[in-house]
Amino acid sequence: MFALIDCNNFYASCERVFRPDLNGKPIVVLSNNDGCVIARSNEAKALGIPMGAPAFEYEAVFKQHKIHVFSANFPLYGDLSHRVMTLLGEFSPEIEIYSIDEAFLKLTGFDYYDLQAYGNEMLQRVTKGTGIPISVGIAPTKALAKVANRIAKKYPKETKGTYIIDTEEKRLKALKWLAVEDIWGIGRKHAARLRLQGVKTALDFTQLSDAWVQKSMSIVGLRLKRDLEGKPTLDLEALKVKKNIATTRSFEKTLTELDQLKERVATFAVTAAEKLRKQKSCCKAISVFVHTNGFRQDLPQYAQNTYAKLPYPTNSSIELAQFAQQALERIYRKGFQYKKAGVILVDILPENQVQQSLFENSNPKHISLMQTLDDLNQRFGQQKIKLAVQDQKRVWKMKQEKLSPRYTTSLKDIITIKV
């Protein structure tokens, strides 16, 4: 059996951990730059706030219903996620951390366990240990565990947060209940196509012919079908090193000058390089893009990206910042108001598999330099040590007007208790 554990309204729940006064109150969390809604508590969902709602359009609604609005606080969410995963890891030797708020556990050898009780135990442990509410779905395959989890979440009272699909009868009932567009792995496009075929539920989907599914949805669709049929097809996946590493941001105010963009792109390259070194990799190529605000059709639009093979593999912030700036110069055009830019490191390989070249290599001194840089930044705070090309005056601040404290990752934000 597989268990899928999913944190309920994760970001909103994180904001409540140190603010118990917000229990039962509507909460939304905004994306970077306080742009749009990326998480909602149940109360906010009930008020009809959609996912992705632009914050400026909903300001009046937030006010009217006294909705508590937060800027995204990713250090807090990342830390609480880590705590949740650590606790879940106690429940099975085999765990796959699927996303920041979800994990699969493989329950091999649990035949004589009361899984309902086991799910309840997970729930108690995580709630007590972190304050984050979770739902547990248990079933013979990953796709069915996803379905079971959905049921647990939808009917918290009846299921007490844990639902198990362990009989053919329950499987059929669950699949009949699940709308085709809500199946894990079926997105908007496929759902629309399936609807045209008369497929309304997950059960209908499993009754299509293998050939049709494979032809129109590739092997991915076929695997999913088998998994939903209760034939274990998808297995736990090991933690993999990333094949792409991106740092991209929208700007609060548009930029027009090359120098301004160069500073941003250098900073993005530095951030991406830090992530690259963290997984002990180098990259052989880089991609840089810029674009104007696509929502402003009244302004001249420009969007361009470029891909550059590097002369040698590297993970040095200094070298990558230089290459990123050179790439930017090739695509920059004067006369546009730029809204967003990004750096994506591609062609990633482990740093111990880098081929030395006879002619040109990454500066070997940068290895210890980057190590020192990372150590200092780790100790004294993110990007305390910067490159000279980066903004020294902190001109570029993200719009984060409703940021909560970093309760668990910053000593100065730690809560004080008055006795």
Partner DNA sequence: TCTGGGGTCCTAGGACCC
**Least distance to DNA, CB of residue 281, Å:** 11
User: DSSP secondary-structure letter at 351?
Assistant: G
State how beta strands 281-292 and 303-314 pair: antiparallel
Neighbours of 72 (CB within 10 A): 23
- Cβ proximity to DNA: between 189 and 418 the closer is 189
Helix (H, G, I), strand (E, B) or coil at 360: coil
* 304 near DNA (CB under 7 A): no
Alpha-carbon distance of 111 to 14, in angstroms, equals 34
Alpha-carbon distance of 17 to 34, in angstroms, equals 21
* 184 near DNA (CB under 7 A): yes
* 177 near DNA (CB under 7 A): no
Among 65, 75, 98, 133, binds DNA (CB under 7 A): 98
Among 115, 152, 180, 245, binds DNA (CB under 7 A): 245
**Least distance to DNA, CB of residue 364, Å:** 26
Q: What binding mask, one character per residue, do residues 125-144 give for DNA by CB under 7 A, x or -? A: --------------------
Helix (H, G, I), strand (E, B) or coil at 98: strand
- Cβ proximity to DNA: between 231 and 242 the closer is 242
Give me the count of residues in the chain: 419
Alpha-carbon distance of 387 to 399, in angstroms, equals 23
* 293 near DNA (CB under 7 A): yes
Among 17, 19, 31, 89, binds DNA (CB under 7 A): 31
Alpha-carbon distance of 95 to 210, in angstroms, equals 30
Among 180, 342, 351, 373, binds DNA (CB under 7 A): 342
* 78 near DNA (CB under 7 A): no
- Cβ proximity to DNA: between 121 and 182 the closer is 182
Task: At 2, list the tokens.
Answer: 């597989």
Among 220, 256, 330, 381, binds DNA (CB under 7 A): 220
For the segment 37-76, give every residue that binds DNA (CB under 7 A).
38, 52, 54-56
* 227 near DNA (CB under 7 A): no
* 247 near DNA (CB under 7 A): yes
**Least distance to DNA, CB of residue 111, Å:** 28
**Least distance to DNA, CB of residue 399, Å:** 8
Burial 282-292 (b: 16+ CB within 10 A, else e): bbbebbbbbbb
Among 33, 120, 233, 305, binds DNA (CB under 7 A): 33
User: Taking Cα atoms as reference points, which of 391, 373, 370 lies closest to residue 382?
Assistant: 373
Residue-wise DSSP of 150-190: HHHHH-HHHHTTEEE--SHHHHHHHHHHSBGGGSTT--HHH
Alpha-carbon distance of 41 to 38, in angstroms, equals 11
Among 8, 18, 19, 32, binds DNA (CB under 7 A): 32
Residue 250's alpha-carbon distances to 157, 261, 292, 293, in angstroms, are: 41, 12, 10, 9
**Least distance to DNA, CB of residue 73, Å:** 13
- Cβ proximity to DNA: between 220 and 414 the closer is 220
Residues near DNA, by CB under 7 A: 31-33, 35-36, 38, 52, 54-56, 98-102, 146, 183-191, 218-220, 240, 242-250, 252, 254, 275, 293, 295-296, 307, 339-340, 342, 344
